[in-house]
Amino acid sequence: MPQFASMCRNCTAYCPIVVTVEDGRPIKVVGDREAPAFGGYTCPKGRELPAQHGHPDRVLDCRARDSAGAWHPVESGEAIGRIAARIDAIRLQHGPRSVAVYYGTGNVTNCNGSAMARAWMSAIGSRMMFSAMAIDKPAANVSLALHGNWHAGTHPFEVSDTWMIVGANPVIAKSNGAPFNNPGLRLKEAANAGMNLIVIDPRRTETSQRAKLHLRPLPGQDAAILAAMIRIIIAEQLYDADFVAGNARGLAELTEAVAPFTTAHAAARAGLAQEEIIAAARLFAAGTRGGVVCATGPSFSTDSNLTFYLGLCLNTLCGRWVRAGETAPYPNVLLPAFTPRAQPYAPYPAVGSFPMRVHGLHDAASGLPTAALADEILEPGEGQVRALIVMGGNPMLSWPDQRKVERALRSLDLLVVLDHQMTPTARMADYVFGIPLGLETAGSTTRIEALKYVGASRGYSFPWAQYTDKIVDAPPGSDLVEDAEFFFRLGQAMGLQLNWTNSYGFGPHVETPPQVTPLDMSRVPTTEELLELTCNQSRVPLADVRRHPHGHVFPIEVIVEPRASDCDALLELADETMMRDLARVACIASAPDPDELLLVSRRINTVMNSVGHGIAALGRGMDYAPAYLHPDDLGDRGLSAGDLVVLRSRSGEMIARVEGDDTLRRGIVAVIHGFDQALADDDPTARSRSVTALIDMSERDPISGIPRMSALPIRMEKYVPSAGSAIGNVL
């Protein structure tokens, strides 16, 4: 049977795979052993691509919902025409700001979509483009804006001797904290080579098992822990004084601001031993190369900007940035050639000038505040959002405050969803467009390289690139519309000129000036043409990358140049907002209520957010989100593994199924997001199965708008279904 090399695009790892095809359908996916650097790695989600592509519930058409709620298939061109007319009318009546786009993690599969959506939004004059980034790790971008970034980047994992991971589990998530190419193996190799790995996580994880030092604190205390580490490193003069003197400002102010964070203070509030914090500080400072990586754990908890900022301060204090004469990591292959310098990108304001109508928020370094979009839709008045296009996202299971999100989405004049599954969001739409899946579209690693511009993750540290043709056609008889194609055809139907922009930069700092290409609006560009367009200034021509079907590590070596003579930029150790946050955090007394548990977020290997639950080998019959607790916490509450419980926060409740997990600290409940809920359309009393039902907007970050989604106090009780209740019936 024919076999084709390709890559899985279900997450940003983009693992090289080999696909076996029978009768035009993918039937088997395995890791590509011929691909360099990845070692044939795949995860269960990648191996289940054939089941995902051939899923009986997959949306293979375009459909419209009538006023009675019934779905009818509609030819995609007809639907696009009707949507164009509706949007024109809404735009005319309410102004361009009333039209919004939300794009989520589904865009990892087909990266052209967000660029085309941006072109379309720019053509209609709306800036209301929101992404999942602002409810993921917005603090990464905010902190880099306030601290400044470094041209040549951080030391990559591969050359580091010291590494600290705060609230990430890269072995499972392949996202932050370890290289994308088989992170489990990379961590094991590093541990064997003696890497000083420090992990801060309230759980013992697949990642912390490789650590020399695992701090298992209460969640939400990372800022205090990092501040105490900084205090020790400064007091014991363990920092790189030469690097700081030449490249940073604010050491004296930072020293003063961390003074209240004595080891005793931090240890008491985080529930750690003082020795653990001292050991972490000394171990981190003793290394020569490495860095701190903060991820969703601290991002979802309190004071996320501050935690990420202090992580950057630790890097700067210890000089953990790549220096002149060293090999540049993250070299551009499909991005334009670039020679980095050993110098900072100057800090810039994290808050922009485009105001939201709610909560005093603005656009920010992390993008528009997605968590506030439901309020933007509900808040009456000029500029109210009336039309929303959702591409590769699932707001009903990802935005905070599910009840409010439901009200907001129902109140829209127009909701369009592009997805391959009838998600709870899609079920509320006016139009749903089925989309081709990964193996049905060409793809390249360009946008994964470009992750280095969004701060949250650095992409590939070595010169890796791959291109894949589409491996199979969409199922016969289907009417699928690719994300980019949707926005292009909508532009055509509205008589707009769309301009495609390639940008290469971090905030206001550019590596290479942006390049704008007016698109020929007379015919729909192919995916392949758009991939070419994305690469038209690449260091290695796309044609060369295409010659290596298994991907290739290109022989590119770029040496970091010294600071330019006209560069006087400095990294900022004492940003005013962050120093104020430090003073505020120092005064917060944290005594957890013994009747409450602290909710934290975590991921599992088999599902990706809300994707995969319906595939038998992945969902494995999980009907409710598992809520993991220490077995003694279960016992104390008279609960057994498998029991259903109600989790109640101050603002909402959900039903989950408990599981014992002795890797957790006591007093914590870890819940996975992305589970579909029993919010049956016709039963407003049905309880949610989604953790987003517990989150509200009352405690939100003033810059990015992300609310507290972890370290959230909740109460828990056994669920006893009442006779005739919706959930009772489900059971």
Interface residues toward ligand SF4, by CB under 6 A:
8, 10-11, 13-15, 42-43, 45-46, 174
Q: Helices (DSSP H) in 452-505: which residue ranges?
A: 483-493
Residue 697 C-beta-side C-alpha neighbours within 13 Å: 23
Phi, psi of 225 (to 5 degrees): -65, -45
Q: Which structure tokens are listed for 289?
A: 């190369």
Provide the minimum distance between the beta carbon of 300 and ligand SF4 in the complex, in angstroms, as a whole number. 21
Minimum CB distance to Mo ion, residue 711 (Å): 17
Residue 15 interacts, among ligand MGD, ligand SF4, Mo ion, none and using kind-specific CB cut-offs from 5 to 8 Å, with ligand SF4
Strand segments (E) across 162-298: 162-166, 196-200, 213-215, 248-249, 290-294
Burial of 259 (0-12, 13-18, 19+ CB in 10 A): middle
Provide φ and ψ at 650, rounded to 5°. -70, -20
By a kind-dependent CB cut-off of 5 to 8 A, residue 114 interacts, out of ligand MGD, ligand SF4, Mo ion, none, with: none
For ligand SF4, the closer CB: 11 or 697? 11
Tell me the pairing of strands 467-468 and 571-572.
unpaired
Q: In this complex, which beta carbon is closest to Mo ion, that of residue 136 or of residue 485?
A: 136
**DSSP three-state, residue 19:** strand
Distance of alpha carbon 615 from alpha carbon 70, whole angstroms: 26
**Using an 8 Å Cβ cutoff, are 104 and 131 in contact?**
yes
134 or 342: CB nearest ligand MGD: 134
CB of 448 to ligand SF4, least distance (A): 10
Q: Decide if 265 contacts 228 (C-beta within 8 A).
A: yes
- Binds 419, which of Mo ion, ligand MGD, ligand SF4, none (CB < 5 to 8 A, cut-off by type)? ligand MGD
CB of 622 to Mo ion, least distance (A): 20
Nearby residues of 174 by Cβ (< 8 Å), 6 or more positions away: 11, 12, 13, 43, 180, 183
Residue number, nearest CB to Mo ion: 136
Q: Which does 46 bind (CB under 5 to 8 A by kind): ligand MGD, ligand SF4, Mo ion, none?
A: ligand SF4
Q: How far is the CB of 136 from ligand SF4 (least distance, A)?
A: 16
Confirm if 511 and 338 have CB atoms less than 8 A apart: yes
Write down the least CB distance from residue 106 to ligand SF4, Å.
13
- Comparison of 178 and 314: residue with beta carbon closer to Mo ion: 178
Length of the chain: 731
Q: Distance (Å, rounded) from C-alpha 95 to C-alpha 647?
A: 41
State the binding partner of 391 from ligand SF4, ligand MGD, Mo ion, none, CB within 5 to 8 A by kind. Answer: ligand MGD
- Minimal distance in Å, beta carbon 335 to ligand MGD? 22
CB 562 to ligand MGD: min, Å: 35
Q: Which does 423 bind (CB under 5 to 8 A by kind): Mo ion, ligand SF4, ligand MGD, none?
A: ligand MGD
Q: Please, what is the end-to-end C-alpha distance for the chain in angstroms?
A: 44
Give contact residues for Mo ion (rule: CB under 5 A).
136
Q: Considering the complex, state which of residue 131 and residue 466 has its C-beta at the smaller distance from ligand SF4.
A: 466
**Min. distance of Cβ 629 from ligand MGD in angstroms?**
13
Angle, CA 663 vertex, CA 707 and CA 599 arms, to 5°: 20
Select from ligand SF4, Mo ion, ligand MGD, none the partner in contact with residue 42, using the beta carbon and a kind-dependent cut-off of 5 to 8 Å.
ligand SF4
Shortest distance (Å) from residue 24 CB to ligand SF4: 22
| Binds 673: which of ligand MGD, Mo ion, ligand SF4, none (CB < 5-8 Å by kind) | ligand MGD
Taking the least distance from each CB to ligand SF4, the nearer of 570 and 608 is 608
Nearer to Mo ion among residue 136 and residue 303 (C-beta): 136
**What does the DSSP 8-state code read for residue 700?**
B
Write down the least CB distance from residue 425 to ligand MGD, Å. Answer: 7
- Closest to ligand SF4 by CB, 207 vs 301, is 207
- Minimum distance from CB of 668 to ligand MGD (Å)? 8
Partner whose footprint covers residue 421, from ligand SF4, ligand MGD, Mo ion, none (CB < 5 to 8 Å by kind):
ligand MGD
CA distance 555 to 205: 36
Report the chain's C-alpha Rg in angstroms.
25
Query: Residue 332 or residue 366: which is nearer to ligand MGD going by CB?
Result: 366
* SS3 state at 158: helix
Residue 468's binding partner out of Mo ion, ligand SF4, ligand MGD, none, with CB under 5 to 8 Å set by partner kind: none
Name the region of 288 (left: φ>0; alpha: ψ -120 to 50; beta: rest): alpha
Q: Cα torsion for 152, 153, 157, 160, to the nearest 10°? A: 60
Count of CB atoms situated within 10 Å of the CB of 325? 10
Residue 141 binds: one of ligand SF4, ligand MGD, Mo ion, none (C-beta under 5 to 8 A by kind): none
Residue 681 DSSP SS3: coil
Beta carbon nearer to ligand MGD, 405 or 558: 405
Residue number of the CB closest to ligand SF4 reads 46
- Shorter beta-carbon distance to ligand SF4: residue 282 or 470: 470
Other residues' Cβ atoms within 10 Å of the Cβ of residue 78: 11
| 186 versus 552: smaller Cβ distance to ligand MGD | 186
Nearest to 65 by CA among 478, 681, 613: 681
By CB under 6 A, name the binding residues for ligand MGD.
11, 104-106, 109-110, 132, 135-136, 166-170, 172-176, 200-203, 205, 219-220, 222, 295-298, 301, 391-395, 397-398, 418-421, 423, 435, 483, 600-603, 605, 607-611, 670, 673-674, 691-692, 695, 709-711
Q: How far is the CB of 100 from ligand MGD (least distance, A)?
A: 14
Evaluate whether 151 touches 343 at the Cβ level (below 8 Å).
yes
602 is in the binding site of which of Mo ion, ligand SF4, ligand MGD, none (Cβ under 5 to 8 A by kind)? ligand MGD
Q: Are 516 and 499 in contact (CB under 8 A)?
A: yes
